[in-house]
Amino acid sequence: MIKDKIIDLYTEMDMHDKEFMVGLLAKDIFVPVEIDYQDGGKTVAHCMDLDREMPVCFNGASLQLNLEDTVKVRYVETKDYKETLDLVKNLEKDVNKLVKNGKK
């Protein structure tokens, strides 16, 4: 059976061989990354592929999987957005008042 052959092969592999094997499988692997947004506790999972140039590398005595891209949280989805927006609106009001009064 092929599973027995794979197990036999795996037990004979050193870490360099395992790194090579994971590299061969990289196109078939994705990693779900869970993001917990701070504004309301909404959790979203992003499916991320392994990096095409270096999908796996050594990190000490272990293998490290490298993801293709980083998770980008849009600024409007963060908790601080509302506070920053309020500050900008207040600043805009102050500038408008100064312009109306002829001061810069």
pLDDT tens, position by position, 1-13: 899 999 999 999 9
Q: Are residues 48 and 12 in the same domain?
A: yes
Q: Angle at Cα 7 formed by Cα 5 and Cα 13, nearest 5°?
A: 105
Q: Are residues 16 and 49 in the same domain?
A: yes
- Contact in structure between 63 and 22 (CB atoms under 8 Å): yes
Q: Are residues 80 and 55 in the same domain?
A: no
pLDDT digits (tens, 9 = 90+) for 31-72: 888 776 655 666 777 788 899 889 999 999 999 999 987 665
- Pairing of the two strands 56-59 and 43-49: unpaired
Mean pLDDT of the chain: 80
What domain range includes position 57? Answer: 2-71
pLDDT of residue 104: 47
Q: Are residues 36 and 58 in the same domain?
A: yes
* Mean pLDDT value of segment 14-19: 95
pLDDT of residue 28: 94
Q: Are residues 45 and 18 in the same domain?
A: yes
Q: How many domains does the chain have?
A: 2
pLDDT of residue 5: 95
